[in-house]
C-alpha cells in the first residue's frame, strides 16, 4: 500500500517510515546537485542563508531538462546520490528532512539520517519523462548559471518513491 505524504509533513512523519515502503509524495521539493551543494556550503561557510530554508526541506537530486509544450518541466529523473555525500551530513544536521535520488549512500550519510530523524527516498532511474508528469510547477530560484543544475523549486503531485534508508537504520540498498 502506498503512503501518501506531503513534504510539509516529512520532518514529523520521517520517523515512522521504514525501508521498502512506497510513498506518493506531494508538495515542495528543491532540485540540488553537486555544484549547487558546493555553493550552498560555501554560502553557509560565509554565514549566509541558503537559497531555500533547510529546516524540513526535501531535496531532489535532479538536473531536469527544459520544459516541452504543456509540461512544467522536462525529463526529471534522479541522479546518483553518492556525489552529494560530502555535503549531505551537514545539511541534514541543519534540518534537511528528506533526500530523493538513486543509489547507495555513505556510512556518514546513513548515520546523519539516523541522527536527525530524516529519510532517503529513491526514485526510479531511467524514467525521467514519467517523473516529470508528477511535477506541476518548476521555477529556478538560484544559481541560474548552472543551467539544468540550477536550483529549482518544484511542486510535486503523487511522485512515486521508495523508502531506501530510514532513520531506524533500515536500508534496502545494502
3-class secondary structure per residue, 104-143 = CCCHHHHHHHHHHCCEEEECCCCCHHHHHCCEEEEEEEEC
Residue 174 has a pLDDT of 81
In whole angstroms, give the CA distance from residue 21 to residue 10.
14
Tell me, yes or no, whether 34 lies in a domain.
Answer: yes
Would 135 be classed as within a structural domain? Answer: yes
Indicate whether 170 belongs to any domain.
no
**Mean pLDDT calculated for residue range 71-97:** 96
What residues contact residue 174 under an 8 Å CB cut-off, 6+ apart? Answer: 104
pLDDT for the residue numbered 70: 87
Q: What is the pTM of this model?
A: 0.96
pLDDT of residue 91: 98
Residue 49 belongs to domain with CATH number: 3.20.130.10
Residues 6+ apart with CB under 8 A from 17: 3, 23, 119, 163, 166, 167
Copy the grid coordinates of residue 68. 516541452
172 domain-assigned = no
pLDDT (tens digit per residue) in 109-162: 999 999 999 999 999 887 888 899 999 999 999 999 999 999 999 999 999 999
Average pLDDT of the segment spanning 9-16? 96
Count of the separate structural domains present in the chain: 1
Q: Indicate whether 72 belongs to any domain.
A: yes
Three-class secondary structure of residue 102 per DSSP: strand
Residue 22 included in any domain: yes
89-107: per-residue pLDDT in tens? 999 999 999 999 999 999 9
Structural domain that includes position 28: 2-165
Amino acid at each position: 500500500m502506498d503512503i501518501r505524504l506531503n513534504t510539509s509533513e516529512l520532518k514529523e512523519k520521517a520517523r515512522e517510515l521504514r525501508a521498502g515502503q512506497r510513498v506518493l509524495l506531494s508538495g515542495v521539493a528543491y532540485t540540488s546537485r553537486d555544484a549547487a551543494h558546493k555553493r550552498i556550503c560555501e554560502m553557509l561557510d560565509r554565514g549566509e542563508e541558503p537559497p531555500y530554508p533547510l529546516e524540513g526541506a526535501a531535496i531532489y537530486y535532479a538536473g531536469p531538462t527544459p520544459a516541452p509544450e504543456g509540461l512544467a518541466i522536462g525529463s526529471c529523473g534522479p541522479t546518483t546520490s553518492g556525489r552529494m555525500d560530502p555535503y549531505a551530513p551537514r545539511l541534514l544536521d541543519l534540518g534537511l528532512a528528506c533526500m530523493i535520488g538513486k543509489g547507495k549512500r555513505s556510512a556518514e550519510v546513513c548515520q546523519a539520517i539516523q541522527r536527525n530523524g530524516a529519510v532517503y527516498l529513491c526514485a526510479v532511474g531511467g524514467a525521467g519523462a514519467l517523473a516529470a508528469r508528477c511535477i506541476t510547477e518548476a521555477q529556478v530560484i538560484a544559481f541560474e548559471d548552472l543551467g539544468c543544475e540550477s536550483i529549482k523549486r518544484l511542486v510535486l503531485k503523487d511522485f512515486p518513491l521508495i523508502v531506501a534508508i530510514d532513520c531506524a537504520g533500515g536500508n534496502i540498498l545494502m
